[in-house]
Amino acid sequence: MNEQNGIASADPSALPLFAPTPPEPRPGRVRSQFSMLPGTNGHEPTSLPRHTGGYPVTANGAGVPGVRRRTAIEHQGIDWALVASFRSQASDQLSAAIGADRGRLDRAGQEELGRSIILELLQSEAAENLTAGRDSWSLADQDVLAEAIFDSLFGLGRLQPLVDDEEIENIEITGCDQVLLEYSDGTLRPGPAVAETDEELIDFLGFLASRSEVNARPFSEAQPRLHMRLDGGARLAATAWVTPRPAVVIRRHRLREVTLAELAGLGLLSDVAVSFLRAAVRAKKSIVVAGPQGAGKTTLVRGLCAELDPWERIGTFETEYELHLHELPDKHRRVVAWESRPGSGEVGINGRQAGEITLDDLLIDSFRFNLSRQIVGEVRGREVLAMIKAMQSGAGSISTTHAADASGAIRKLITCAMEAGPQVTESYATRAIAEHIDLVVQLQLETMPMGDGTARRSRWVSEIIAVSPGEREKGYATTQVFRPSYGRPAVAGVLPDEYRALERLGFDLRGYLAEGRLHEDAT
């Protein structure tokens, strides 16, 4: 792997060629045209579809509803050495064919040219097999092989089947051959190797980071951390050189369009809690969703945002796009979506790298964009102070942060605000947060081993607290509006008087009081 300007690059003959910028979704075909290779039925194919025979998928992961998508498990028998050989030949031919016209050939044209080259290579190989009397490929083998070669040129290579599998929610990789898959039902199972060696995995990640035309990120020994979004909305985090083996986590967000009621149906929270949070959003209460990594914070924020008026003007602020509210025009008609950007090169006298745009910068810029609400993907540092300033001009902010419990989330936000500099004292940070954050919704994540050697993860809202200014010693007060009930969603607790007014906005106050009495009697 070569390095230039701190960004990893790779030999095009060994890695995919072009950045996977999202194209317009194109319909796939159900039946593979590779079934018409020489040696099968004598007809020649005219194009190379992706994921044919299964759930046809375009380069950005969109497919044709109603047709089954081939799962990651069905890709485990691929001969990756054969794929690498075809990919190398196709890469060489593609580079030579494009030549000086590369700048004028758009992505769709590059893909079509790549399809024709792959098709010719497979035709030639099939004809040689037929002439030599060797066994010809089955239709399924042709489908999978063609798909794998295409993915290696234009997609995520051996990661592509895992990212495309609708049943897989998260992918954890430690080294090239230690892969753990989390499925949509919470089950954890081992997955197939994603590279032959750790070095091959690092090279691919470096190339993947540098090739994107819209989201390029550095990844090298000088900058061993990588955070980026993938086509289709998945988020990738990787690190190498500072860990014994390269580590990668890919998080897929299955539930793009989700409501609080739907999350209640999945067991995340109770119907009474749904009515309370729905009314709180409508009343423009500022809400922080807290919890451990992977607990479902982003999904819950989507559910909260689904309760917003479609005509309300909102801004989203994220390190990598995950909320994707700007891609739901029917639900959110007035959205400005901001994404931070890491810098590159040496650190300047201001302590920042050239080109760096932080969430703090974006939040300050947003003050001139006529926003009524700010939705912050994750508060992890000094940007909380800018968010508080935004709250002073418009209520109803929604954000997330990592914390073990709801009270811990408040303490963390105070610490984050103090990172803005010595001018922000603890008393000022505490007062600002207590005055401008109304509710903290805490999520719980639990992993239980199963008897068959796998494990299963469960998630639920464990508590909801109301925050208000408190006595001078502590600076804030909290009330458990919904209190923990081990192993199940939080139940009714103590309701501050001012929240009774939420009944006019849909809060099921009678149901809340009845639930509280029921659990008091039970204890």
- Residue 76's pLDDT band, with cuts at 50, 70 and 90, is low
Tokens of 54: 């299964």
Q: 260-522: what fold?
A: Rossmann fold (3.40.50)
Buried/exposed 426-441: b ≥16 CB within 10 Å, e otherwise: eeebbbbbbbbbbbbb
Better-scored residue on pLDDT, 344 or 65: 344
Better-scored residue on pLDDT, 473 or 69: 473
| Greatest mean pLDDT among 74-78, 289-293, 321-325, 385-389 | 289-293
pLDDT digits (tens, 9 = 90+) for 101-122: 655 677 788 888 888 888 888 8
pLDDT digits (tens, 9 = 90+) for 114-162: 888 888 888 888 888 888 888 777 777 777 788 888 888 888 888 888 8
Q: Which of 136-150, 171-185, 224-238 has the lowest mean pLDDT?
A: 136-150
Could you tell me which residues are beta bridge partners of residue 171? 181, 250
Instruction: Tell me which architecture the domain covering 161-253 has in CATH.
Output: 2-Layer Sandwich (3.30)
- Average pLDDT in the 424-452 region? 90
- Average pLDDT in the 44-62 region? 31
Average pLDDT of the chain is: 79
Q: Which of 87-101, 248-262, 414-428, 478-492 has the lowest mean pLDDT?
A: 87-101
What's phi and psi for 439, nearest 5 deg?
Answer: -135, 145
Tokens of 274: 């749904």
Nearest-angstrom CA–CA distance, 445 and 452: 21
Instruction: Show me where the domains of the chain are located.
Output: 17-154, 161-253, 260-522
Better-scored residue on pLDDT, 329 or 34: 329
Nearest-angstrom CA–CA distance, 136 and 141: 10
Q: What angle do CA 335, 339, 342 make, to 5 degrees?
A: 170
Task: Check residue 267 and give its pLDDT.
Answer: 92
DSSP letters, 106-125, are -HHHHHHHHHHHHHHHHHHH
**pTM, whole model, 2 decimals?**
0.71
Tokens of 311: 């005509």
- Residue 216's pLDDT band, with cuts at 50, 70 and 90, is low
Tokens of 246: 């390269």
Q: How many CB atoms lie within 10 A of CB 407?
A: 18
Better-scored residue on pLDDT, 76 or 60: 76
Q: What angle do CA 25, 28, 30 make, to 5 degrees?
A: 155
Task: Check residue 20 and give its pLDDT.
Answer: 33
Residues 6 or more apart whose CB falls under 8 angstroms from that of 69 comprise 51, 54, 55, 57, 63, 164, 165, 166
CB hemisphere CA count around 280 (13 angstroms): 28
Helix (H/G/I), strand (E/B), else coil: 179: strand
- Residue 6's pLDDT band, with cuts at 50, 70 and 90, is very low
- Ramachandran region of residue 421, left (φ > 0), alpha (ψ -120 to 50) or beta? left
